[in-house]
Chain A
Amino acid sequence: MSHSALLAKQPCIVGIGQTEFTKWGHILDRSEFQLAAQAVVSAAADAGLPCSEIDGFASYANDASEPSLMQIALGAKQVRFASMVWGGGGGGACAAVAHAAAAVTSGLANYAVAYRSLCQGQSFRYGQAHAWAPGKNFIHPFGLFSPPQMMALIVRRHMAEYGTLPEHLASVALACSANAGRNPNAVMRDRPLTLERYLASRMIADPLRLYDCCLESDGACAVLVTTYERACDLSGVAVPILAAGQGSEGGWGTGPLAGFNMPADVFCSGNAGTLARELYARAGITSADVNVAQFYDDFTGMVLMSLEDFGFCDRGEGGPFAASGQIAWPHGSLPINTSGGNLAEAYIHGFNLVLEAVRQMRGTSTSQVANAKICLATGGPAIGPTSALILGGA
């Protein structure tokens, strides 16, 4: 294919939409499905596309708002692409966007929407035990039920191997909190965190304290994906998806969701080292080119390992790197989670991080990184497979 033909097929995010974000259980007047449709409608409006033209649907984590329901809600003329990402939890956040991108580039769809809607008062809380957990025989009878407990085992090992400290974990929570304070949509916008409050917060699963853990929220987010050539006919500001995909290290398997028998050399990781190298190669960049990042922050310690996976520091150096101020807005070399992230904006299963990545590339973040040209976003770490994407400037 010629260069211009390749450019024409370049996938872009051309619209973003969301509902309000609240603490979990607070949206009871509208269904989870209505929120999903609302987010999609606002993404289409942002793109300048009639909803009836949307012909592709992608989501993850067994989102309940199925394309068959969405088609009716949106008056979509046809459904040509419908994708649900395998693997539980937020690991599929960026994968849903990757699937939408692959659909429009290959011609399986013209306008694909990726979305996630979460009303944990109407369905269930992800922070609780669930009967469908894979390999549950090897964790539930031993009291290991929920994500913070599982990730605590990885973070504890990271501390033992590399000397990572509570103050290192705190630096992630503090950076997210400060960013949320500038974001009027953030659930925690009026609840600034201090190191003293962080250290005094109760233990959930040692070494993870309350403020090491993400929020539990209600809300919905959507992005509209199409090709560059189609985006040129729309009013929405198009942000190119330079690379997006899924990955899992050899031997990872179900990792912390079952027996924790992932290979020792990647045990203390977000399962994304190989994925990171692949995405950088496909985007034709290195970690040094990334100006801002939205790391899936289910737990602070996993963000430290994501910094390592994506090459911003050496293995084991995530703690000192974060605590040195490098991740803080506006002066750090790599401001992260500029909307407040899952820790302080809202937990929409990490899809709010994708929207914030788009805002950074459009120059519309409430914690805008000056002259940002490349933004990284990641899906839930340590999940198999996890996912990530790299956006370029609008």
Chain B
Amino acid sequence: MAYFPSTFPAVAPTLDDRHFWELCAARRLCFQRCVNCKTFRHPPAPFCPRCQSLASDWVEAPTVATIFSFTVVYHPSHSDAISAVPYNVVLVEFESCSGVRLVSNVIDESVDALTVGARVELAWDAGTGGQWLPRFRLLRLKQT
């Protein structure tokens, strides 16, 4: 079941970010990386912030990331969010990709379980219009 109602705002790709969403549609989470200096950047942008090169490629992100910060939204500030509260928003960090951060959600989880520093694992979730969106689940370390 999708984390948000099907009436939620849809992704409306722009010339700068459409490839990110095309890859997501194929359930591939990739970040843009400068071909010249290998610095990752997000959200997608035409120029490398480090060397201003226009040349970029797309590199598959690790499936595990870390919660850099999070909030739990109780007051909906969008009409489509009224039935969704309370819900969480997490900021996840990909250390091996120049520390790129992604705004997302942790699905199937009590909001009480979230902590800064927790490890999360990629879990594709259906967004509005059938667009696959990168969301996450808390990673539970297996007992050995």
Contacts of A154 in B (CB 8 A): 69
Q: A143, B43: Cβ atoms under 8 Å?
A: no
Q: Which of B72, B100, B117 contacts A261 (CB 8 A)?
A: B100
Check if A135 is an interface residue, CB within 8 A of chain B.
yes
Check if B54 is an interface residue, CB within 8 A of chain A.
no
Cα distance A149–B111 in the bound complex, in angstroms: 15
Contacts of B100 in A (CB 8 A): 261
Q: How large is the interface on B (under 10, 10 to 19, 20 to 34, 35 or more residues)?
A: 35 or more
- Which applies to chain A's interface (DSSP): helix, strand, loop or mixed? mixed
* B interface residue numbers (CB < 8 A to A): 4, 8-14, 17, 21, 41-43, 49, 68-75, 77-78, 81, 84, 87, 89, 91, 99-105, 111, 116-117, 127-128, 131, 133, 135
Q: A141, B133: Cβ atoms under 8 Å?
A: yes
Contacts of B99 in A (CB 8 A): 264
Check if A144 is an interface residue, CB within 8 A of chain B.
yes
| Contact flag A149-B91 (CB < 8 Å), given A143-B84, A259-B43, A261-B101 | no
Q: B72, A205: Cβ atoms under 8 Å?
A: yes
Smallest CB gap from B21: residue in A: A137
The 4 A-B residue pairs with the shortest CB-CB distance in the complex, in nearest-first order: A146-B77, A152-B71, A160-B116, A157-B69
Contacts of A203 in B (CB 8 A): 72, 74-75
Cα distance A156–B9 in the bound complex, in angstroms: 25
Smallest CB gap from B12: residue in A: A137
List 16 A–B pairs whose Cβ atoms lie within 8 Å, in order of A's numbering: A138-B42, A141-B4, A141-B11, A142-B105, A143-B105, A148-B77, A149-B89, A160-B69, A160-B116, A204-B73, A204-B74, A205-B74, A258-B43, A259-B42, A259-B103, A260-B69
Check if A86 is an interface residue, CB within 8 A of chain B.
no
Q: A206, B77: Cβ atoms under 8 Å?
A: no
Chain A nearest CB, measured from B41 CB (Å) = 7
Cα distance A141–B20 in the bound complex, in angstroms: 14
Smallest CB gap from A161: residue in B: B116
Chain A positions 118 through 156: 1 when the CB is less than 8 Å from some CB of chain B, otherwise 0? 000000000111000001111111111110110011101
Q: B10, A141: Cβ atoms under 8 Å?
A: yes
Q: B72, A206: Cβ atoms under 8 Å?
A: yes
Contacts of A141 in B (CB 8 A): 4, 8-11, 127-128, 131, 133
Q: How many residues of A contact B (CB 8 A)?
A: 37
Q: A128, B77: Cβ atoms under 8 Å?
A: yes
Cα distance A149–B72 in the bound complex, in angstroms: 8
Chain A nearest CB, measured from B42 CB (Å) = 5
Cα distance A141–B102 in the bound complex, in angstroms: 12
Q: B72, A143: Cβ atoms under 8 Å?
A: no
Check if A184 is an interface residue, CB within 8 A of chain B.
no
Check if A192 is an interface residue, CB within 8 A of chain B.
no
Chain A positions 187 through 207: 1 when the CB is less than 8 Å from some CB of chain B, otherwise 0? 000000000000000111111
Cα distance A205–B111 in the bound complex, in angstroms: 12
Q: B74, A137: Cβ atoms under 8 Å?
A: no
Check if A251 is an interface residue, CB within 8 A of chain B.
yes
Q: Which of A128, A153, A206, A251 contacts B78 (CB 8 A)?
A: A128
Known: A148-B75, A153-B71, A261-B41. 10 other contacts (CB 8 A): A137-B12, A140-B78, A141-B127, A141-B128, A145-B78, A146-B78, A149-B73, A160-B116, A205-B73, A206-B74
Q: A139, B103: Cβ atoms under 8 Å?
A: yes
Cα distance A295–B91 in the bound complex, in angstroms: 27
Within 8 A of B (CB), among A240-282: 251, 253, 258-261, 264
Contacts of B49 in A (CB 8 A): 251, 253
Smallest CB gap from B10: residue in A: A141
Smallest CB gap from B99: residue in A: A264
Chain A nearest CB, measured from B6 CB (Å) = 12
Smallest CB gap from A156: residue in B: B69
Q: Which of A145, A156, A260, A261 contacts B81 (CB 8 A)?
A: A145
